[in-house]
Structure 1
Amino acid sequence: MIVAPRAVCDAASLSFGEGLEVLISRKLDTLSPGEILEVSSDDPSIEHDLRAWSRFMAHEWRGMRVENSRFICSIQRGAAQRIIAKRLPLEAVTNIPAIANPQTGFSPRGATVEDGSPGFPFDVLDANLAWNPEAATLYERAVSAQWNAATDILWNALPAIGLELEQSVCQLMTFLAENEFAALYVPAKWIPRIHPHFVETIMFLSTQICDEARHIEVFVKRALANGGGLQFSSASTERSLKTLLDREDFLEASFLLSVLGEGTFLDLLRFIEAHAPDAVTAEIARRSRIDEARHVQFSIAHMKHAIESDPNFKQKLAAAARERAASLAEVRSVNPLVEESLIVLAAGGLQPDRLPAGVRAVRELYDTMHENRIKRLQQIGFSSEDSEHLSQSHTPNFM
């Protein structure tokens, strides 16, 4: 019985060495097992090559005939699959898995993964912990907001300023840079542990790392630009920052770093911007603050999503904050050189008649930091009482 072909393929004069296998394989992929592909060719050697290839690939050779000086070969598709998997539907790319499968490895969400692929050591697999609905929008915003520390800051416009002011600016730049190292290393630690199917989170954290690298660059450049140089880093600051890197829970690490730490830094950067002795330093603080605000917004959205999915996460985050506060109980204040520098900056120098105003400004800064931490904590679902307590116990290091 002659079976009509399900599909036809004109191979012209292609040989196997020139791409015939690719053409025929793609055509056979569109057929179901048992269906016939008819291949027409100008090359008389196709019978020998195609017969052998069909047997090797578990298809059935159905013969060849000659029509109008062309060689017409018939192949019946076999049951073997080139990829041992059923292709996922197009809409699978939008399906956020409740619990991601480590066996899907580095495949993009929505791709079909062949059976037998190895498992990967991802351990952030729960969508409630690893994903939030605002991540994609914030990623796009972050990409469009990138700036260049070398060319977007008018370094040639930086004026010489008084020695005490310059020393204070350089101390603050040193402090900012070391904190930004923590803000870079913490998300960098988590990217290889978050399952790739939560790609929106991974992509946003990648922009955060890029932002922090730029901040480190611009803060160090400002410390060096007028010859003042990098200043002092205190043991208490380093101890405080290490507690962020030591966290082994992604949600806790993000909460402590961004909601509490980077959130507090928004007020610090706004203070430096407002009291900067020159426009260049003010612009550095302004641009960095805008980036940090995006990081804080991401983390707030992340915490809200997690807590809405499971209110028990709120107790988990509060416990992490209390645990960190207990481990830093001996740290009573920010690096004294940092506080002095903030006072000098706000006072505009060391003039005795102006220092009281600088002291008042820094006290007001601390009050503002506390008030805004409370607002952010309430925003993600904490009560007024809990927010007050958690804010009060936050590290005096700011981050």
Structure 2
Amino acid sequence: MQTTIDIEDLRFDGGAHILVKHGLQGVAPGAELAVTGSGVDWQGELATWCRNQGHQCRFDGPGAQGGRALALVRRGDAQAGRWRGAMQSGHADPAREGAVAPLAQARWGLAARGATIEAGAPEMHFRLDQKSDVWVERAADLYAQAAALQWNPATAIDWDAQFTLPDMVEDAVVQLLTYMIENEVAALVVPARFLGQLHPHFREVQAVLAIQVADEARHIEVFTRRLRLKGREPALSTAGGQNSLKTLLDEPDFSVAEFLLSVLGEGTFVSLLHFLHLHAPDPVTRQIARLAARDEARHVAFGMMHLQGRIEQEPAFRTRLANAVQTRNDALAGTPGLNEEVFDALILLAAGALTPAAIASGYLRVQELMVDMAEGRQARLEKLGFDKQAAQQLSALHTRNFM
């Protein structure tokens, strides 16, 4: 039995096409839908719409609806003139939830993964279009965890806590935070740079990088707010420190950059934040260090998961990582290491007092921090498959600027 719809006097530029489209959904491809109407030139509008949509349309004289003209629309292929990225030879079907293609096509553009893409859509070229170069199997889980653990700087930190520090101690906090801010700026810029080069097909990785950028922006905000809490201005930024960070910004390879920044740099920074949490001279700095360390640990986890997956598929990639560490070490060989003022600030905070015995104790604790940083790097390197000796050597080559 033929289906008939009446669009009455509704024009196609007023929504009549929706009624016809809905009617066609109820008939099989190749079957006909009868349409009647009473608007001015509705037949011409219908014919034009059908032609654009890939359907056939003919008029068959008066219909049963009060003798008005009857149009018969033969449903065509809804995908005529279109294509789906899933049809590309050798690709995983992106329409299936969780499936990711090994190579993201430029012609997929900004479309949602699995969307039907109309012919004529512009090609958009993203440099990071290969799954093996960027993928992390648990990226969606990491994003969900990060989203659940976001914190509001205005409420998560007790900015009204009452404390007064000796000028020398406050100066030490300000110097350390000045140093930490520039490192967090680098940790923001690196994922942000790759985010703009990443094909949207890899949406889970895109989401993780975006939330990492948000994390770092929040860290910069709270470090700056604490720095100015007692009316101070930022302290010294050294040429050596910025040279060290520039090598991270200059690294063009996503995996190598993740290795240098997240696995080595941010991993070392987690140790520094734990140290600051333990030895912070005031509650605000202590709270900031705890929250920032939690965020940075997720960034390290993402880098480790990505590199473990890539090395599993490409064991020889370890050689590239080792070469990157050596190259960076060579590039920084003629520059100073850690800002001396930062080193002294760490000693003073760990000492807790300005006496020979306390300073000696603070110095020892900072040396223990350096050992903890080195052992942490070595452990992560061993998890990536480097043998113990190679891991020790690469850990020792890591920049003295920590990040």
Give the TM-score normalised by structure 1: 0.92
Q: CA deviation at 1:146?
A: 1.0
RMSD (CA atoms): 2.3
Summarize deviations over 1:351-391 as a string: whole Å, max 9, x none: 22310000000000000000111111111222111111110
Partner of 1:215: 219
Partner of 2:89: none
Letter in 1 for 2:230: N
Partner of 1:142: 146
- In the alignment of these two chains, the number of paired residues is 394
Letter in 2 for 1:23: L
Q: Following the alignment from structure 2 to structure 1, what is the Cα–Cα distance between the partners of residues 373 and 63?
A: 86
Percent identity at matched positions?
Answer: 39
Moved more, 194-203 or 338-347: 194-203
After TM superposition, list the pairs within 5 Å mapping 1:287-306 onto structure 2: 287-306=291-310
- Helix, strand or coil for the counterpart of 2:63? strand
Q: Following the alignment from structure 2 to structure 1, what is the Cα–Cα distance between the partners of residues 354 and 237?
A: 22
Q: Which aligned runs of 4 or more in structure 1 are off by greater than 6 angstroms?
A: none
Unpaired segments ≥5 residues, structure 2 = 87-92
Partner of 1:284: 288
After TM superposition, list the pairs within 5 Å mapping 1:1-399 onto structure 2: 5=2, 7-28=3-24, 34-41=30-37, 43=38, 45=40, 48-49=43-44, 52-53=47-48, 56-57=51-52, 59-67=56-64, 69=66, 71=68, 72-77=70-75, 84-86=82-84, 91-399=95-403
Contact 1:47 1:64 in 2 (8 A): no
Q: CA deviation at 1:50?
A: 5.1
Q: Following the alignment from structure 2 to structure 1, what is the Cα–Cα distance between the partners of residues 5 and 186?
A: 60
Contact 2:227 2:233 in 1 (8 A): yes
Cα gap change, 1:120 to 1:336, in 2 (>3 Å): same
Q: Following the alignment from structure 2 to structure 1, what is the Cα–Cα distance between the partners of residues 161 and 16?
A: 65
Cα gap change, 1:11 to 1:357, in 2 (>3 Å): same
Summarize deviations over 1:152-184 as a string: whole Å, max 9, x none: 211110411111110000001101100000000
Moved more, 95-104 or 260-269: 95-104
Contact 2:184 2:220 in 1 (8 A): yes
Cα gap change, 1:124 to 1:278, in 2 (>3 Å): same
Q: CA deviation at 1:25?
A: 3.6
Unpaired segments ≥5 residues, structure 1 = none
Q: Following the alignment from structure 1 to structure 2, what is the Cα–Cα distance between the partners of residues 317 and 131?
A: 17
Q: CA deviation at 1:46?
A: 6.5
Q: CA deviation at 1:150?
A: 2.5
Q: Following the alignment from structure 2 to structure 1, what is the Cα–Cα distance between the partners of residues 40 and 331?
A: 79
Letter in 1 for 2:363: V
Q: Following the alignment from structure 2 to structure 1, what is the Cα–Cα distance between the partners of residues 306 and 39?
A: 65
Contact 1:40 1:73 in 2 (8 A): yes
Q: Following the alignment from structure 1 to structure 2, what is the Cα–Cα distance between the partners of residues 90 and 251?
A: 24
Cα gap change, 1:316 to 1:87, in 2 (>3 Å): closer
- Helix, strand or coil for the counterpart of 1:67? coil
- Helix, strand or coil for the counterpart of 1:215? helix
Q: Following the alignment from structure 1 to structure 2, what is the Cα–Cα distance between the partners of residues 66 and 100?
A: 50
Moved more, 329-338 or 140-149: 329-338
